[in-house]
Amino acid sequence: MAEAAKPRVGFIGLGAMGQPMARSLARAGFAVVAYDIATARAVALVPDGATVAPDARAAAQNADVLVVMVQNFAQASDVLRGAAGALAALPDGAVLLMTSTIDPADARTLAAEAATYGCAFVDAPVSGGPARAATGDLSLAISGAPDAVAKCQPVLDALGPHQLRVGDEVGQALTLKAVHQVLAGIHIAAAAEAIALGERAGIAPEIVYQFVTGGAGNSWMFGDRGQRMIAR
């Protein structure tokens, strides 16, 4: 049986995470049309097989799946909305795959607007950093209508094998990411307070780090960010 054709991918946002994600997709054999306000970032993907889009609309025109990996909702709104935006150019039945971390309420607003163009919306915030993005090893939380998720599943699989299907409602995955970020922030703050408490008592930060990382009070954030704090 012949292998199903890979969906055509438009990709908007080629920053620290977006560029390695788009590169990973292109190397996996997807036809990627990439756009970033800094054109050089898209040009850098040409050796990997990607095509440079002159604007966001051009990235969306023939896409089955449009991946958006911009910094925030303001940037997403800029590239997606209006007559010159990507949403108006998406083919009927395409899926807007939001991998940026934005407010769940804003995601639902974009999903409603996408629906007026006959397009679906899936939110799939990612975690793992640029190095794992480059190797297609990201972690993704995913929410959206089952048929929409199924349409972009090959893209999700190429981005990372660590996937958690959160629910069928747009915004649920982004809410889960927010929960994670709250806990991550608490752990970072607690790590800083713990190291400072030891320093005030005359204990070297390295000793605090060694003791905590060997005990039940350790966390991933303490182990990673604690090292950075000690190194200033």
Specify burial of residue 103 (Cβ count, 10 A radius: 0-12, 13-18, 19+): middle
**What is d(CA 190, CA 222) in angstroms, rounded to the nearest whole number?**
8
Specify burial of residue 226 (Cβ count, 10 A radius: 0-12, 13-18, 19+): buried
Burial 22-40 (b: 16+ CB within 10 A, else e): bbbbbbbebbbbbbbbeee
What amino acid positions are annotated as catalytic residues? 177
**What is d(CA 55, CA 84) in angstroms, rounded to the nearest whole number?**
9
**What is d(CA 125, CA 176) in angstroms, rounded to the nearest whole number?**
9
**What is d(CA 67, CA 164) in angstroms, rounded to the nearest whole number?**
18
CA 2 to chain centre: 31
